[in-house]
Amino acid sequence: MTEPDIGRLTFRKYIGHDPSREELAAVMASRLRYLPKLVAESKAFRVLPGVEETLERLSTAGYLLGITTGGMEAAAHIKLARANLNHYFCFGGYGSDSADRVGLTRRALERASTLLGEPLEPQETLVIGDTPHDVEAAHGVGAPAVGVATGHFDKAELGKAGADYVLGTLEEELPLGRRWSASPRGG
């Protein structure tokens, strides 16, 4: 689910009705007001093994990097800032772009094409994620999916979901047989 969906469902559960536009805007603004402090104080926050090294290697090699996440764009940047990873990502697709993961992945590819000044074909990209939803989003736009078993799903589950490649961590080598635009999923 995307953050706006979660906001609407939470509002409905605790307030008892669907939020109006103004109420939803207030919920989203409130979340963003408190999120920097919550992220900064989180004891569980960590950067997974291999992430920084992989992003640095890809960036230095001239790969255009983007992020797709069900979080709102501002929330994604708050989390990336805590990890000191913001500077790697030139574009993205966010929960504030679409409630559908395929739609927000498509939006990320559109933004990459805008940056490049020419169309970026989905087959020229890698969508990297740690859930079956990420695999579905990649295939939904026609891109290869790399499943990384660093979340709640193991390698077998990501393979069963249809990932084209499956890694245990980002410490393993990515399948970079040609010029790809990697689009790791954040959260």
Task: State pLDDT tens for residues 80-125.
Answer: 999 999 999 999 999 999 999 999 999 999 999 999 999 999 999 9
Report the pLDDT value the prediction gives residue 173, as an integer from 0 to 100.
93
Mean of the per-residue pLDDT values for the chain? 93
pLDDT of residue 187: 40
Instruction: Describe the chain by its helix, strand, coil percentages, rounded to 5.
Output: 50, 15, 35
DSSP letter at 25 equals H
pLDDT at residue number 64: 95
What's the whole-model pTM score?
Answer: 0.88
Handedness of CA 184, 110, 121, 133 (dihedral sign): positive
Three-class SS state of 93? strand
Query: Residue 136 and residue 40: Cα distance in Å, rounded?
Result: 32
Low-confidence residues of the chain: pLDDT under 50 = 179-181, 186-187
What pLDDT is recorded for position 26?
94
pLDDT of residue 176: 86
